[in-house]
Structure 1
């Protein structure tokens, strides 16, 4: 057994355990250990765990694990939080512009007074159905617009869609979206891997904003209300989809500690 330093960060209520693993002291293949650390009753507690690791060319590498302990697809709020962590740990050369590698590719970010602006992947493959859209914004997302997101059972209805034959066998994340005004939306998300509603989901917010643009193409900047606070998404439409997609919002240090593993 050994003691390891950990840090807790949250982005609009989406909370994460972060470990500086540049010396490879933590075993990212230990699913049960990561699940234990994310447990809110017996561990530290978090929607996921991230490892900050070295990269030969970029400022660092981000590895993200869902709270079930399995290495997962991209997490937008996690990306913003690990970007803030990297700045606080003096890992990056300049907080005004830095880059890191994640499972879905290279990301650029800026940090200014607790606000992280994170460039997401380009989105060029969007399925548009009568009552939903589906796309991959680093993670797969089903997006449906409803009249009142406060009146939906996110866990029950999200779980039904997540485990439906439409998305078998891997499943999907599910977002319920409501227009508050012309370019302001409210989003609630059921996240696979967490298997619950979370206070925010960055890739889900991006998918929701892109879906909102499809309904209101005059807007390329959306303000987004989530359970944990406020985010912003900007995008540039192209002939086949969207590029220059940015997710902006707060990333906050909560506490740090040591735990025996």
Structure 2
């Protein structure tokens, strides 16, 4: 079978996008998804995203524009991907599914988003009502689970080795966690490097990880500002939020989402 695909990237976090509104894609075929994401034998990506119609919400008063179905590069369906969500909004605009704003459904619920003419996507993330703070690390879920810890000499840190040890440790059991290493740059700017489960390696960017890092740094008093700049390996992201009692609401992830190329692949 021949499949048309689009390649998108958001601050270096790259994705294979497929319009699956006709439900032709064999979603149970883990090996196929893994092959499509393979950088030597396939298209190459951190993950694959299907844009689908949301049959349930389409019958409701507040209908969504589309559904996001996300797979890690290991072929398994995964939890929310922030940069993937931003790229999917750009993809939906390219397909004329939306104009400049949207509401869509993902594995962690509804997401509102806007896209500017220059391709900057502002994506509302889930609210966060639990932040675990320990002397060594912070843990929270921003649609995906994230371990956050501050390190010195971030530029030379062995993210893959240390990240894998934490991801597979007894701390997080079989499900594991994404692992982020953070360094403060200024009052409201932090640099992070992320080990992503499912990719099982460092990625150039992680949207849910950047969001988690910003909220974690606010929670432990490293910044008192509710708009935080996060420098990732592939660029810059902005996270904003409101803090009400113990809950973080109106959480937005903002950054570029760029079309790379379009093609067809035989499988």
TM-score by length of 2: 0.95
| Larger CA deviation: 67-76 vs 233-242 | 233-242
1-side partners of 2:162 and 2:226: how far apart? 29
Q: Deviations over 1:175-212 (max 9, x none)?
A: 00000000000010000000000000000000000011
Equivalent residues in 2 for 1:73-88 (5 A)? 73-88=79-94
Q: Are the equivalent residues in 1 in contact too, given 2:148–2:180 (CA < 8 A)? A: yes
2-side partners of 1:246 and 1:102: how far apart? 15
Aligned match for 2:207, one of 191, 194, 202: 202
Q: Are the equivalent residues in 1 in contact too, given 2:167–2:179 (CA < 8 A)? A: yes
Aligned match for 1:134, one of 139, 146, 155: 139
- Tell me the equivalent position of 2:182: 177
Q: Are the equivalent residues in 1 in contact too, given 2:131–2:216 (CA < 8 A)? A: no
2-side partners of 1:72 and 1:15: how far apart? 15
Aligned match for 1:99, one of 97, 103, 109: 103
Equivalent residues in 2 for 1:228-243 (5 A)? 228-243=234-249
- RMSD, matched Cα: 0.8
- Tell me the equivalent position of 2:33: 34
- Tell me the equivalent position of 2:17: 18
Q: Are the equivalent residues in 1 in contact too, given 2:187–2:223 (CA < 8 A)? A: no
- Name stretches of at least 5 consecutive residues in structure 2 with no aligned partner: none
Displacement of 1:217 = 5.0
- Tell me the equivalent position of 1:90: 96
- Tell me the equivalent position of 1:109: 113
- Name stretches of at least 5 consecutive residues in structure 1 with no aligned partner: none
Structure 1 position 153 matched with structure 2 position 183:
no
Displacement of 1:54 = 0.4
Displacement of 1:218 = 1.9
2-side partners of 1:29 and 1:100: how far apart? 23
2-side partners of 1:217 and 1:194: how far apart? 30
- Tell me the equivalent position of 2:264: 258
Displacement of 1:156 = 0.5
Structure 1 position 168 matched with structure 2 position 173:
yes
Q: Are the equivalent residues in 1 in contact too, given 2:188–2:227 (CA < 8 A)? A: yes
Question: What secondary structure is seen at the aligned counterpart in 2 of 1:74?
Answer: coil
TM-score by length of 1: 0.97
Runs (4+) of structure 1 exceeding 2 A deviation are none
Q: Deviations over 1:121-178 (max 9, x none)?
A: 0001111111110011000000001222112100000000000001001100000000
2-side partners of 1:42 and 1:148: how far apart? 35
